[in-house]
Structure 1
Amino acid sequence: MREPVELRRKRILAVVHARGSVKVSTLAEELEVSVVTLRRDVEELSQEGKLRRGHGVVRPVGGSVVPGARDGTAAGSARRVTKARGVPAGESAGDGGAIGLVVPERHSYLYETLHGARTALEEAGMRITLHITPQSAGAERPQVEQALAGGARGLLIAPRWRSAAGEEADYGWLSEVGVPTVLMERRPRPGSALHALDSVCSDHWYGVHLAVDHLVSLGHRRIVLAARDDSPTARSVRAAFAEIAAGRPEVEDWTVVISSSNAGPGEPGSPPQDAPDLAVLLRERRATGAVLHGDEDALMLVQRLAESGVRVPQDCSVVAYDDVVAALGSTPLTAVAPPRGEIGRAAAELLLHRLAHPLGAGGAVRRVQLLPSLEVRGSAQELSGPTE
């Protein structure tokens, strides 16, 4: 599926805002688009006043870049500063050490989280270094070590954690990094080594509740969840759906399937999993409602349903989960929208609090949850007539 223009431009803005300055050629390579396409996007974003361009380099609007921050590297972005506010007493924005932001590459869901964190840190006058982890097992640790070697005084991190086993493999070393650390959009297993680590995440149980409750309120009693299974968010969505559907007496039948062949927890290069034909599955189970996670898979599944003669919402009502690009389909999808930007901002504010009030000095560990919302569009409607 070709990446929507709006999503690609959100990714451009997120990277530029996080780094402060980046070369057009470097940006095109990292986002895996042609330089021609990237320049066209940059030109339009510049005309809209969303960024500045010049001599092959793109910069964000506002703020300031001191000498040495024009190379587009993580080291360069570390020198980007703004007016200091909220810095711990006795310190200034220039006092040694940056905040390291560690996020997976090509992860559109987390780009808005990254932007929210970056905005809050800049408002507090903190210097930032961005560390992007490749799609491979154990990729976070080298990036964290690099941030610490560069003098990072605190970390904001959203590990990819494609599988539960991969997640637990990181618990030991991540609990011992030695600087204040806040997990973004991640909630470790209860009782694990990271249980007592500060974290901020969406309440995905509530998000799934919104989706199921919306379908049930429209009269749908047979519901399918087609979901990914390759991230903590995906695993939370799947577990929440099973619990909620089983506990709602109105739901007569439900099932959980994988949303696409590459949506499983295997590492890159591993054989794809078999994904069922959703149109066939809906007919077999006489399902009239579906929750689809995440957005890109949802848009592709709706296209395939149309090709198989299943109309959305006339034959099947759909609620997507993520709301990154759900509104861009030919039929805009009703979607659960986790507060991605607010997650990043809350995580940054929690890290600032922890820098000023270290654990062991009277400060309690904080685990913050923010509630998603439901964006109602045109992909779900009231059930009309029997399902037999």
Structure 2
Amino acid sequence: MREPVDLRRQRILAAIEARGSARVTDLASELQVSVVTVRRDVEELAREGRLRRGHGVVRSTLPAQEFPARNLPGGELGEFSPQSPPDGDAVAVVVPERHSYLYEALHGARSVLEAAGRRIALHIAPHVAGAERPLVERALVDGAAGLLLAPRWRTRADEEADQDWLAALDVPAVLMERRPWPGSALHAMDSVCSDHDYGARLAVEHLVGLGHRRFVFATREDSPTARTLRSAFARIAEEHPLVEAAAWTLSTPDAGPGGPCPDATPADLYARLRAVGATAAVLHGDVDALMLVHQLADNGVRVPEDCSVVAYDDVVAGLGTTPLTAVAPPKAEVGRAAAELLLQRLGAPRGAPAPVVRRTELLPTLTVRGSTRVLMVNRA
């Protein structure tokens, strides 16, 4: 005997209100009816304002915090545990491959999302232009309720290429460690970042306080963080009354957006130090910094006796033969703050006024280790 339409729709509503969301295909399987039938029911329920539709997923009209935090009694629609929600309750996280810095932010986000009963659907973007968009589209088809994004954006052109589709997202999304270009279509997008300008100043002020006046800054040039740091160091060196001279170089030959840089040779840091008479260096990031310290040793430059060194990132800076003084952006805190902001967006009641966009910046910290010391030579 065919199930009455009203009863079937009530079962659909019960399932969605218990889970928060579910895929149309899953509902069809559980109810043992066709996808077309469920889609027709969902369309009618959505017209009545009792459900929300989107990308093959049906969502409840209840705020996220009102979803029952319990198992449903065993029945035809199965059981639901808040530790293992369906895809429609998941948050998709998109980060670049082989990026230990952002993986720490991911772990911070995970602690917040799992405590809220949200599953993380992790997507790793390969190092090619435009890799994030198909991953986001796939996540939305799978029913992701919200997004945490860290596009690689090696260049400003990469960011501009992503503006239109990111601005058109129809689910809440928060950028991690990415500052959209002022005035761009993404400038009014929620974001949580480290204040890298403050971190750069921490490094310089620490070294200036030790008596150093001449610097070399070695940074990468293939990420938004790297470009922000390079700009900050250049501005600080120009404006600081106690900085006498400064030079910049790539921290590794493959650190530029176009691939290997012919101007960055293994002895480049040593050559730059000699050219400006530098007694201190700030190196980004940790792995490159540790390798550059070894290069200095090969050229007879001792750290910290001949040159004080500060690393920027502090993921593995303390593990070197000479543990490196390092600036540590609040990586895990960035992830936690981004996840908390996303949960607020997901929990907003339907029909509520558009929220005020937030651009949150968290301050890095400095950890002093054995790679910096007071300058022992009096300068005339």
TM-score of the alignment, normalized to the shorter chain, above 0.5 = yes
AA of the residue aligned to 1:274: D
Q: How many percent of aligned residue pairs carry the same amino acid?
A: 63
Question: Is the Cα contact below 8 Å between 1:200 and 1:368 reproduced in 2?
Answer: yes
Is 1:162 paired with 2:139? no
Deviation of residue 178 (structure 1)?
Answer: 1.2
Between the aligned partners of 1:128 and 1:249, the Cα distance in structure 2 is: 48
Q: What is the DSSP-based 3-state SS (H/G/I as helix, E as strand, rest coil) of the residue aligned with 2:246?
A: strand
Query: 256, 275, 284: which is aligned to 1:284?
Result: 275
Q: What's the CA shift string for 1:195-227, capped at 9, x where partnerless?
A: 111000100000000000000000000011010
1:325 aligns with 2:316: yes
1:274 equivalent to 2:289? Answer: no
Tell me, in whole angstroms, the C-alpha distance in 2 between the residues paired with 1:355 and 1:361.
13
Counterpart position of 2:75: none
1:262–1:273: 8 Å Cα contact kept in structure 2? no
- Point out where structure 2 has 5 or more consecutive residues left out of the alignment: 1-62, 70-81
Deviation at 1:170, TM superposition (A): 1.0
Listed one character per residue, the Cα deviations across residues 233-284 of structure 1 (whole Å, up to 9, x for unaligned) are 1011111111111110100001221111110012xxx444431521121111
RMSD between aligned alpha carbons? 1.7
Counterpart CA distance in 2 for 1:271 and 1:321 is 21
C-alpha change, 1:236 and 1:91, in structure 2 (3 Å) is farther
Shift of 1:87: 4.1
Aligned mates of 1:333, 1:225 — CA distance in 2 = 15
- Give the alignment partner of residue 181 of structure 2, picking from 178, 186, 189: 189
- Structure 1 partner of 2:289: 298
In the alignment, the residues of structure 2 paired with residue 301 and residue 204 of structure 1 have an alpha-carbon distance, to the nearest angstrom, of 21
Residues 274 and 208 (structure 1 numbering): CA distance in 2 closer, same or farther, change over 3 Å? same
Change (3 A) 1:221 1:196: same
Residue pair 1:286, 1:387 contacting (<8 A) in 2 also = no
Q: Report the alpha carbon displacement of residue 163 of structure 1 after superposing the two structures with TM.
A: 1.4
Task: Give aligned pairs, total.
Answer: 300
CA–CA separation in structure 1 for the residues paired with 2:272 and 2:179: 32
Please tell me whether the aligned partners of residues 264 and 273 of structure 1 are also in contact (alpha carbons under 8 angstroms).
Answer: no
SS of match in other structure, 1:215: helix
Are 1:265 and 2:257 matched, yes or no?
yes
Would you say the 8 A contact 2:247–2:272 is kept in 1? no
TM value normalised by structure 1: 0.75
Partner of 1:357: 348
TM-score, normalised to structure 2, is 0.76
1:127 to 102, 109, 119: 119
CA contact (8 A) 1:87 1:124 kept: no
Given the alignment of the two structures, is residue 88 of structure 1 paired with residue 65 of structure 2, yes or no?
yes
User: What is the letter of the counterpart of residue 210 of structure 2?
Assistant: L
Q: Which amino acid aligns with 2:120?
A: I
Q: Give CA-to-partner distance per residue, 1:145-164, whole Å, 9 cap, x none.
A: 11011011100011111112
Shift of residue 285 of structure 1?
A: 0.8
**In 2, distance between residues paired with 1:214 and 1:141?**
41
Secondary structure of the residue aligned to 1:88 is helix
Letter of the structure 2 residue corresponding to residue 349 of structure 1: E
SS state of the match for residue 254, structure 1? Answer: strand
Larger radius of gyration: 2
Q: Could you tell me whether the CA contact under 8 Å between 1:100 and 1:154 is conserved in 2?
A: yes
Conservation of the 8 A alpha-carbon contact between 1:319 and 1:379: yes
- 2:19 is matched with none
Answering whether residue 326 of structure 2 is matched by residue 339 of structure 1, we say: no
Aligned AA for 1:317? Answer: S
In 1, Cα distance between equivalents of 2:375 and 2:101: 31
